[in-house]
Chains A and B, each alone.
Chain A
Amino acid sequence: MLHWRNISGFLRTEVVSRMKDRQRGLAWLNGLRASKDGERLGVCMAIDIHSESLPAEIFAEILGRVDLKIEDSRVAFARALEQLIDERFNCPSRHRVEPGANGDRYIRVLRMDDLVRYFMSPTSYELEPTAPFEFEHTRKKYFEDKDQLSLGEFDRCWSGKRERVWVLPRQEYERLQAYAAEASKALPTVLIDALGFGTPAGAANQIPELVAVLYPPEIPVHSAQPTAVDACWFCEGGFYLSYRNEDSWGRTHSSSGTLPPVKERVHPKIEKLTDEYVAVRLGTPSESSVDPESPLLDAYARAEKIWPKSKRRARKTK
Chain B
Amino acid sequence: MAKVKAQSAKDQIGTQPNPKKRARPSAEFDVDQWVDFIEIALYEDPSVLGLGPKEEELYQGFIRILNQLSENPGAQRRFGEAATRVFESVKPLPLYAEAIYTLLQIINHLTPTMAKPLVRRRVFERAFKDLQFAAMNLHSFALAIAGRWDVDPHLANHIREFNEGPLEFRDRILSLRLLARRDPSEAYSFLPKVISELQAEERVKQLYRELRGVTISHTYVGLFRWYRDNQTRLQEVANFPLFRDMLMHKMLPREALSKSTNDPYERLFAYYLHADSLVPAEMDDLYDMRGGSSAEFYGELLSVLDHARIRTKTIVDDPMSPGNMMMTRGTPLDQEVVKNKNGSISVDRITKESFLVALQELANNEMYQPYATN
Contact = CB atoms under 8 A, between A and B. Distances in A.
Interface string B91-126: 000000010000001001100000000000000000
Of B9, B63, B170, B205, the most chain A CB neighbours within 10 A belong to B9
A238 interface: yes
A75 B143 CA distance: 34
B51 A235 contact: yes
Contacts of B52: 197-199, 201, 235, 237
Interface in A171-206: 195-199, 201, 203-205
A161 B173 contact: no
Interface stretch (A27-35, A42-50, A278-286, A301-309): A27-35
Contact of B135 (A137, A158, A198, A240): A158
Contacts of A13: none
B13 A235 contact: no
Contacts of B53: 196-198, 232, 235, 237-240
Counting contact residues on chain A (CB < 8 A from B), the size range is: 35 or more
B131 interface: no
A123 B67 CA distance: 28
Nearest to B63: A203
A201 B5 CA distance: 45
A305 to B, nearest CB: 23
Interface size range of chain B in the complex: 35 or more
Interface in A16-44: 22-24, 26-28, 30-31, 34
B101 to A, nearest CB: 10
Contacts, number: 160
Contacts of A94: none
Interface stretch (B151-159, B207-215, B272-280): B207-215
A135 interface: no
DSSP majority for the A interface? loop
Contact of A125 (B10, B13, B56, B174): B174
Interface stretch (B42-50, B287-295, B330-338, B364-372): B42-50
A144 B252 CA distance: 13
Given A30-B13, A71-B14, A236-B47, 18 more contacts: A26-B6, A27-B13, A72-B45, A74-B47, A78-B47, A123-B170, A124-B174, A137-B213, A137-B216, A144-B212, A152-B202, A156-B135, A196-B54, A203-B64, A204-B63, A204-B109, A235-B50, A237-B53
16 contacts: A22-B2, A26-B9, A31-B10, A70-B45, A71-B14, A72-B47, A75-B47, A117-B57, A124-B210, A125-B177, A127-B144, A127-B145, A141-B209, A155-B206, A197-B53, A203-B67
